Amino acid sequence: MNQVELYGRKIGLEHKTFNKRWKGGSRQLVEQHSMHSQQEQRQRARPLATAAQTLVLPLLLLLCCGAQHVSAGAPLKIAIVNQVHFHLEVVAGAMHVLKPLTSGPVTVFLPAKVLKTNWYGFRNWLADKEGFEWKECKEYDGTTTYDLVLFISPEYQTSWVAQVAGQMKPKVALYYVHNGHIPDAEFNRIKAMSPKFPLLTLSPHVAKNISARAAPVEPQWLLPIFPYTPASVCSLADIQGGKSCLKGFSVQGRIERSRRNYTEMWEQISGYRKKEGADALKNFRLNILGEAVEAFTVPSDVRDLVAVYKNPPYPIFYDVVYHSYALVPMLASPLYYASKFSSTVLTSFITGVPIIADKPFMGAYTMIERSAVYYQDDDKNELDAMFAIARMAPEEMWRTRMGLDELRNKMNSRATGLLLGWLKEKGLEPDTKVEGQGAHRRLSSSSSSGGRRQLLSPLWLLELAGQQAAKEAGLLL
């Protein structure tokens, strides 16, 4: 049994766990069904049912009852198009903010391999979120039109996107630009598709980066967030009482040296250990989570302190992060501060786990408030910041997590306000009662933040007896 399966059992995925297998250079999601005796199944039936209710019922209530429907007119026809197998976190956020704008279904177009293989457990993360019509991109009939279409990844297969946009004829067509440094020819093709509405980015610094090329329409940043909800929770009182609901720190994203500076982190950990002794970091844990796209080795002198989660499904990925003290960006490329968005920011908002942020990071991601991060002083490194966080009183740690929850609500409320404004420009109004910031705050808090302000789920990180056991479980590379 590998690491993904072991952790899946910890979060209630006993009967359906996921494992990534590599065959001929392509990923195939292999769904494995565990065999249990009738006695074991009976023993697990009640907690599994409770977990299912905890995950699914709040989402059903949110989507069915969160917005009050009125007879203002026909439901808006809304679609989300993402023809690539990545940027699914952005798709989920778009689903979260667009569904309250219509009583009808929102159509989500995705690649066949995402839908047919449940790519990285994407549908499990969404807990079969209702109110959506899932379609493969190739299933678009070429004639159905929409009021609003959000194109998540138009930088890829741009010609196909332009063709589909022309056929869908949306009254409001919105296009994301993820990489502000893309060549002019490619950028201009996307710009030509959006002559009346702003090009979208996920953060202010990328919008600023493309502003000169985007003229005359000023680009706008829009960061929609689908909050992660764990299967079970533990209270702040439990943390105050010494219950271990959090452990370690997490580095997320594609495991690639051009994106994250792993070498510097190894040097910080190794240097501290040599200086303070072998037992100095006995309670330290660093999780590395992401898609393994290149050979990756953890140095032997720090390997017992590092857990590498290779290609984890979304439910496990977010659960590991959720139970961390903080996220460590470890950004290796200057592009992340100038023309590119870091996925660590979105993971932080999704899970409610604050980032360790220094001055350059805050200078780029200006929408992030100081109250929502653990700030790293100029004279400190990442390891110093981790030590400081681990020593924090529970109440102080909770203030930062609450600040992040509040900021997440603001991000979603802002997204809703912008979308309503663009619809209004075309004379379109939702047939649902969405009154801007206040209405959307209710939706956000019902799905996540209302619980997160007081509660955190319990820690189920693996406690393996020694490095050999970790290797056998597939924990370490």
The residue among 393 and 451 whose pLDDT is bigger is: 393
More confident residue, 57 or 218: 218
Residue 179 β-bridge partners: 340
Question: How far, CA to CA in Å, does 258 sit from each of 156, 220, 253, 293, 387?
Answer: 21, 28, 12, 11, 26
Strand partners, 48: none
CATH hierarchy code of domain 71-227+411-453 = 3.40.50
Report the CATH fold assignment for 234-400. Rossmann fold (3.40.50)
CA-CA distance, 424 to 73, in Å (whole number)? 14
Nearby residues of 174 by Cβ (< 8 Å), 6 or more positions away? 148, 149, 150, 151, 194, 197, 200, 222, 422
Between the two ends of the chain, the Cα-to-Cα distance in Å is: 15
Q: Sign of the CA dihedral 133, 134, 138, 139?
A: negative
Residue 73's pLDDT band, with cuts at 50, 70 and 90, is confident
Mean pLDDT of the region 33-47 = 37
Boundaries of every domain in the chain: 71-227+411-453, 234-400
H/E run at residue 227: none
Task: Give 49-90 as a 3 state SS string.
Answer: HHHHHHHHHHHHHHHHHCCEECCCCCCCCEEEECCCCCCHHH
Count Cβ atoms below 10 Å from residue 175 Cβ, excluding itself.
23
Q: How many CA atoms lie within 13 A of 358 on its CB side?
A: 16
**Whole-number pLDDT of residue 271:** 95
**Cα–Cα separations (whole angstroms), residue 450 to 217, 336, 364, 474:** 37, 32, 29, 36
* The two domains 71-227+411-453 and 234-400 share their CATH topology (first three levels equal): yes
Q: What is the pLDDT of residues 152-168, one digit of tens each?
A: 999 999 999 999 999 99
Closest CA to 132 of 84, 95, 83: 95
372-402 pLDDT, tens per residue? 999 999 999 999 999 999 999 989 998 999 9
Percent of the chain having pLDDT more than 70? 74
Question: Average pLDDT, stretch 351-374?
Answer: 97
For 167-215, the pLDDT digits (tens) are 999 999 999 999 999 999 999 999 999 999 999 999 999 999 999 999 8
3-state secondary structure at position 460: coil
